[in-house]
Amino acid sequence: MPELPEVETVRRGLAPAMEGAVIARLELNRPDLRFPLPENFAETVRERRIVSLSRRAKYLLIDLEDDLTVISHLGMSGSFRIEDETLGEFHHPRSKDQKHDHVVFHLRNGKGPLKVIYNDPRRFGFMQLWRRSELDLYPAFAQLGPEPTGNALDADYLAERFSGKSQPLKGALLDQTVIAGLGNIYVCEALWRAHLSPKRAAGSIVTKTGRPKKELGLLTGVIRNVIADAIAAGGSSLKDHIQTDGSLGYFQHSFSVYDREGGACCTPGCGGTVARITQAGRSTFYCPVCQK
């Protein structure tokens, strides 16, 4: 399932085409995806201007005028692509089978008509309508923690959440009520960069007085860096994820531990071998030598 960097990459790819454009028509080629599409979806958004594209955790938010937002989740195989009809040919190559084009945004952006197409072979994605001013009340957002790239995430905050916890550090970081949008790949990479074992108790990097230890301060900065690096590389293209122009993200080519079981640890002078264990049903990759 696409993680935060992949969704942020999609947002950045769509924004130049969609922001400021008017939805001339919304074409719905089926009544549902994972869930039924919103009632009167096409009629409600027709002729509304797209104010901005934003993101919350792993959700893409298409913000329309009049306090309305289209909440979109890519599921396992969802993707967007842009077709600019003013060029006579597709501006970007088709990335998926056309029979899986389920939702088509027909837009006017002042330069001519263009289409933004949502394609989803497995149909695990979804779209819903919500009031922008009430996004905090959306069920999936109500309990989300701060963004890993936002100012609210700091060592003091994590110390408060981790204090006294015997839960393994890997599981604590995957808890979406602690940090929103931080997924399995990037937790593995962040823990490797911070030289912290995924099996270590979350409370072990907090002092008895509830203050963050040096390791927690390092981890907080590393989380920001690994997410920033992944976004800059266009995310990680594992299985179905692609960018809006049909190309692949490249961060998977710089994985240090994820999916590298049996490979040499990349830490200079370590000499360890990347191991794989299962935690809470998820694969964890780490170096038992340098991650303590």
Catalytic residue numbers, as ranges: 2-3, 58, 282
Which has the closest alpha carbon to 201: 170, 166, 173?
166
Length of the chain: 292
Q: How far apart are CA 73 and CA 84, in angstroms?
A: 23
Q: How far apart are CA 28 and CA 17, in angstroms?
A: 20
Q: How far apart are CA 273 and CA 244, in angstroms?
A: 36
Radius of gyration of the chain (CA): 21
Which has the closest alpha carbon to 271: 246, 254, 292, 289?
289
Q: Is 46 in contact with 276 (CB distance < 8 Å)?
A: no
Which has the closest alpha carbon to 153: 200, 211, 201, 222?
222
Sheet holding 50-56, edge to edge: 50-56, 59-64, 68-73, 126-131
Place of tokens 């001013």: 133
Q: How far apart are CA 154 and CA 219, in angstroms?
A: 10
Which residues, in sequence order, are bridge partners of residue 250? Answer: none
